[in-house]
Structure 1
Amino acid sequence: MKYLAAYLLLNAAGTAPSADAVKAVLSSVGIEIEEEKVAALMTALEGKSVEELIAEGNEKLSAVPAAGPAGAAGSAAAGASGDAAAEEAAEEDAEESDDDMGFGLFD
């Protein structure tokens, strides 16, 4: 992931991303570089533009199925129990409001 981030950073800066440039970015912040990962990244991205990569990623994300009716029912039940838990937490916070153990800043 860090190799891809360096690649995208170089691209956003207007610099042509190369293996040496990616290595330079990573080494400038003290990251240990694995040559085979840099080479694999450059091979995988060869001939592709960042716009193409983003479009491919968006297609993959849109293919992920959304939660159906069972997911909605489960989240509704979780929401109801979450309200009760929130009320209990508020009561506990009110009881434990004396975090300074009786010593105030101006006492």
Structure 2
Amino acid sequence: MAMKYVSAYLMVVLSGNENPGKKDIEKTLSSVGIETEGAVVDALLKGVQGKSAHQLIAEGMKKLQSVPTGAPAAAAPAAGGGGGAKAEAAPAKKEEKKEEEEEGR
């Protein structure tokens, strides 16, 4: 299911309609020039039936927390920080070489 349907559903909820219907979602999407597939909207509404938007978001957050990323969480910040330090160290070495050359003259 495309995120555009879920986004339209949530936008209708945010506008004050706690229980959006098919026409509400289709109207929202058509207002920005997006054609809808009725079967997809029906599947979305069937999946969210009886649940509030807050419940759906909470369930989604739990699912996102269990998604494996393939790398330890601590490795990402370390890799990002290491790149910046190396980039800064390289010009310093060049400056040291220039100073040594000037002193040798």
- Common topology (TM > 0.5): yes
Q: 2:66 aligns with which of 55, 63, 66?
A: 63
State how far apart, in whole Å, the 2-side matches of 1:6 and 1:74 are.
Answer: 33
Name the count of aligned residue pairs. Answer: 87
Q: Which residue of 1 aligns with 2:84?
A: 82
Residues 88 and 20 from structure 1, CA distance in 2 versus in 1: closer, same or farther, beyond 3 angstroms?
farther
Q: CA RMSD in A?
A: 2.8
Question: TM-score, length-normalised on structure 1?
Answer: 0.64
CA gap 1:18/1:57 in 2 versus in 1, 3 angstroms: same
Using structure 2 for the length normalisation, give the TM-score. 0.65
**Higher normalized contact order (CA 8 Å, seq sep 6+, divided by chain length):** 2
**Is 2:41 the counterpart of 1:38?**
yes
- Matched residues, percent identical? 45
Which protein shows a greater Rg?
Answer: 2
Q: Show the counterpart of 1:8.
A: 10
**Please, which runs of 5 or more residues in structure 1 have no aligned partner?**
90-107
Q: Which secondary structure does the structure 2 equivalent of 1:79 belong to?
A: helix
